[in-house]
Amino acid sequence: MFKSLHMKLMLIMLLLITSLMAVVGAFLTTNVSSFYIDSFREQMNDMFGSDVEADGVALAKNASFMSDLLSAAEVADGANQMQDILDANAGKLGIDYRTRNYYILDGSSGAVLVKSDEIDTTLAATPNLLSALNGKVGDKSDLTADYMDVAIPLSGGENGYIIYILDSRATVSSLNSQLFTIIMQALVIGLLISVLFSYLLSKTLVGPIEKVTEGAERLAGGDFGNKLPVESPDEIGILTGTFNHMADVLQDSLNAVENERNKLDTLFLHMTDGVVAFDHDGTLIHCNPAATQLLQRSIPKETVFDELFGSVYPLAQILTLQRPNYADAEMMVSDKTLELYFAPFSDKASGGVLVVLHDETEHHRSEERRKEFVANVSHELRTPLTNVRSYAETLRDSGGDIPQATADSFLDIIITETDRMTHIVQDLLTLSRLDAGNTEMNFSRFDFGASISSVVRANALEAKRRSHELKLEPAQSLPLIFGDRQRLEQVMMNILGNAIKYTPDGGHILVTAGTAGEHVWMEVSDDGIGIPEKDRDHIFERFYRVDKARSRESGGTGLGLSIAKEIVERHHGTIRLARHDGPGTTVRLTLPIRLEDLQA
Ligand code: ADP
């Protein structure tokens, strides 16, 4: 109920006014009472002189009054005479015959002889009266009593007299009750005014605070557009200004955070590595498209860490890592090898784990290819070396017992095997230079048709020796092309040489050529042994041979087509097996006419 500032202010005001009035009331009533008592005592002191003393100093202010009284007391009708004196001085004594009266009592019995009021009062035996009965002036005042009195013993007559002045304090009581009424009225008016004031005050104070609160709520809702008006230069105005400034700073910070997030989002969206983030409970926070692709599965929001990587690395162990440490592991997804990096992204309990997925498949494959290549090279070189060694040993160990013709044939084999090794080494050198990209190419514009004719002519003898029918059917006109003539002729030689090699004697080999758009092409078809379906994709690989024995027999290294492919690719061309109906093979070479344009 008293939670709102309105109510609190009002309550404070009410309490303030009430307590103020209570203090004023108490102060006033106390002061009125003591003033009344003081003035009574003063009057008595003035009249009764040194017999009534306030502080022990003897005073005789009204000596004639006292001496009159004393002389009246001496005569026979003393009491009545004294009454006359008292009546004559009633004004000075404050005797009003209602609230303050005088009594003349018998000095020893205390019986009332004369009195000023008409009422039949019985006097109470007050301490002052008792003191007078004992012959002493009774002038002690008692603040707690509801009366004031003074009792003066006088000698005279038979027993002496006591003049007793008694004030019922009714005047001060009625004054106090009037004061009380006034204070209560003032209190009611004060309360009404305080309610009004507290309302106005709270309006002035709370209004702007409520506006700032509304602004804060709008801010919390993401609305930074509306600035709060600064209506006054006071503390509330400063608060509003500070609040506006805070909103600006907050907006700037949020914009900066938003920018950063957008940058990260874009990065995550387009990076080729997969990124998956989990909180410390293992619940998915973020996952980029590359991760979905690499893991080859959909990753819905409810996916947890254990479902994806639990078998690879335990989450709890990653969370214990101190940044920037990370853990890595390998994971196979169908035929892909993924390298996984696990890192905690915050040391705090609210942190989590970031998993980066990198596709290592290609790296693995090329590593395997490299190993395979090294194994192939060793194997290819070992076979001729073994042959050379065994024939050379035989010759050495024979001690000249071998017939000359046999020895010569052994030496021929040694020379052939050495040539083969030289071939292999040369081919490997060519390939490694092409791989390294430091093969010097002598580019020039040359006649594509003339090159084909020259290659066909160079192979005519070998074709004839194998009883092949070698035909060249070039298009009417072939353009000049740009390239390394020598190397491209080496490619053509390889294709045509293979056709001659892998076609049984008496076969038919057809060389055709033409242009297609921006390209020239050459096809070599034979009706030879052909290439089985399963091997078609592989014959451009290094050391790949369909029939190893046959290839080796014909002096092949298994590197010719792979070198050809490298050279053609350096010319932005293609070399591939074309569709071939019937037995045999067709190899098609395509080259751009204006290579210089492509290189530019
Ligand atoms: P090689 O030195 O063994 O001829 P290549 O790289 O030139 O090596 O050829 C690779 C393999 O492709 C050959 O070993 C052969 O098995 C096959 N090949 C190439 N051309 C033909 C063709 N015209 N007919 C049948 N097989 C072929």
CATH number at residue 106: 3.30.450
- The pLDDT value recorded for residue 52 is 46
For residue 314, say if its preceding peptide bond is cis, omega within 30 degrees of 0.
no
Pocket of ligand 1 (CB under 6 A): 494, 498-499, 502, 526, 528-531, 539, 544-547, 551, 556-562, 585
Q: Whose CA is nearest to atom 23 of ligand 1?
A: 499
pLDDT digit string (tens) for 226-285? 788 887 788 888 888 888 888 889 889 999 999 999 998 898 889 999 999 999 899 999
Place of tokens 């004992």: 134
Q: What counts of helices (H) and strands (E) characterise the chain? A: 18, 16
Tell me which H or E stretch contains 149. strand 148-154
Q: How far is the CA of 550 from the centre of ligand 1 (A)?
A: 10
User: Closest Cα to residue 458, out of 473, 474, 470?
Assistant: 470
- Residue 371 in any domain: the answer is no
Out of 117, 144, 168, a domain closes at 168
495 with 524: CB under 8 angstroms? Answer: yes
- State the Cα–Cα distance between residues 73 and 44, nearest whole angstrom: 19
- Residue 187 in any domain: the answer is no
472 with 436: CB under 8 angstroms? Answer: no
386 and 282, same structural domain? no
User: Closest Cα to residue 198, out of 8, 324, 9?
Assistant: 9
Out of 168, 189, 217, a domain closes at 168
Tell me whether strands 100-106 and 161-167 are parallel, antiparallel or unpaired.
antiparallel
431 and 296, same structural domain? no
430 and 289, same structural domain? no
CA 519 to the chain's CA centroid = 59
Q: How far is the CA of 558 from the centre of ligand 1 (A)?
A: 7
234 with 209: CB under 8 angstroms? Answer: no
- Residue 176 in any domain: the answer is no
Q: How far is the CA of 12 from the centre of ligand 1 (A)?
A: 106
E strands of 228-273, at which residues?
A: none
Neighbours of 427 (CB within 10 A): 19
- Residue 243 in any domain: the answer is no
484 and 586, same structural domain? yes
Tell me which H or E stretch contains 214. helix 170-220
Q: Whose CA is nearest to atom 2 of ligand 1?
A: 556
Q: How far is the CA of 541 from the centre of ligand 1 (A)?
A: 11
User: Cβ neighbours of residue 55 under 8 Å, at least 6 residues apart?
Assistant: none
- Residue 571 in any domain: the answer is yes
Q: Provide the 3-class DSSP secondary structure of residue 588.
A: strand
- The pLDDT value recorded for residue 122 is 79
Block means of pLDDT (10 residues each) for the chain, 600 residues, are 72 87 87 86 78 46 78 82 88 87 87 80 85 86 83 82 88 86 89 86 79 84 80 83 88 92 90 92 91 91 91 88 86 90 81 91 88 87 91 88 90 92 90 84 93 95 96 87 95 96 95 94 95 92 84 80 94 94 94 81
Instruction: Look at the chain and report how many structural domains it folds into.
Output: 3
Question: Which of the 8 DSSP states describes residue 540?
Answer: T
457 and 584, same structural domain? yes
- State the Cα–Cα distance between residues 97 and 167, nearest whole angstrom: 10
157 and 54, same structural domain? yes
473 and 524, same structural domain? yes
Q: Distance between the two ends of the chain, CA-based, in angstroms?
A: 85
Q: How far is the CA of 595 from the centre of ligand 1 (A)?
A: 28
* Closest approach atom of ligand 1 to CA 558: 8
- Residue 287 in any domain: the answer is yes
- Residue 326 in any domain: the answer is yes
Question: Which of the 8 DSSP states describes residue 455?
Answer: H
319 with 344: CB under 8 angstroms? Answer: yes
User: Closest Cα to residue 280, out of 307, 311, 315, 313?
Assistant: 315
For every residue of 335-380, DSSP letters joined together read TEEEEEEEEES-SSTT-EEEEEEEE-HHHHHHHHHHHHHHHHHHHH
526 and 391, same structural domain? yes
CATH of the domain at 437: 3.30.565.10
389 and 351, same structural domain? no
164 with 117: CB under 8 angstroms? Answer: no
290 with 272: CB under 8 angstroms? Answer: yes
Q: How far is the CA of 491 from the centre of ligand 1 (A)?
A: 13
536 and 389, same structural domain? yes
- The pLDDT value recorded for residue 463 is 96
- The pLDDT value recorded for residue 600 is 63
* Residue 468: half-sphere exposure toward Cβ, Cα within 13 Å: 29
- State the Cα–Cα distance between residues 278 and 194, nearest whole angstrom: 61
CATH of the domain at 293: 3.30.450.20
E strands of 368-507, at which residues?
A: 443-447, 469-474, 480-484
Q: How far is the CA of 545 from the centre of ligand 1 (A)?
A: 6
Bridge partners (DSSP) listed for residue 328: 341
443 and 531, same structural domain? yes
Q: Provide the 3-class DSSP secondary structure of residue 532.
A: coil
Alpha helices (H) along 49-116:
63-74, 78-88, 90-93
- Residue 203 in any domain: the answer is no
| Torsion angle of the four alpha carbons 531, 497, 422, 397, in this order, in degrees rounded to the nearest 10 | 80
520 with 514: CB under 8 angstroms? Answer: yes
- State the Cα–Cα distance between residues 495 and 175, nearest whole angstrom: 139
* Closest approach atom of ligand 1 to CA 540: 6
Range of the domain at 289: 271-359
426 and 312, same structural domain? no
- The pLDDT value recorded for residue 444 is 93
Among 419, 468, 511, 545, which is best to mutate for testing ligand 1, by the most ligand atoms less than 8 A from CB?
A: 545
- State the Cα–Cα distance between residues 543 and 12, nearest whole angstrom: 101
Out of 168, 193, 221, a domain closes at 168
pLDDT digit string (tens) for 125-173? 889 888 888 888 888 877 778 888 999 888 877 778 888 999 888 888 8
User: Closest Cα to residue 124, out of 112, 139, 136?
Assistant: 112
